[in-house]
Amino acid sequence: MEIDRDAPVWAEREIEIAAPLEVVWDVLTSVDDWPRWYAEGKSAAIAGPVAPGTTFWMKAGPVTIKARIESAEKPHVFAWTGRTLGISAIHTWRLDRSEDGTRVQTQESMEGFPARLLRAAMQKKLDSVLETWLRAMKIEAERRAS
pLDDT band at 61 (very low <50, low <70, confident <90, very high): confident
Mean pLDDT value of segment 51-57: 98
Strands (E), 18-138: 41-46, 55-60, 63-73, 77-84, 87-98, 101-111
What pLDDT is stored for residue 94 in this prediction? 98
Distance of CA 40 to CAs 2, 24, 91, Å? 24, 19, 16
Mean pLDDT value of segment 41-47: 95
Structural domains in the chain, sorted by start = 9-29+68-145 (3.30.530.20)
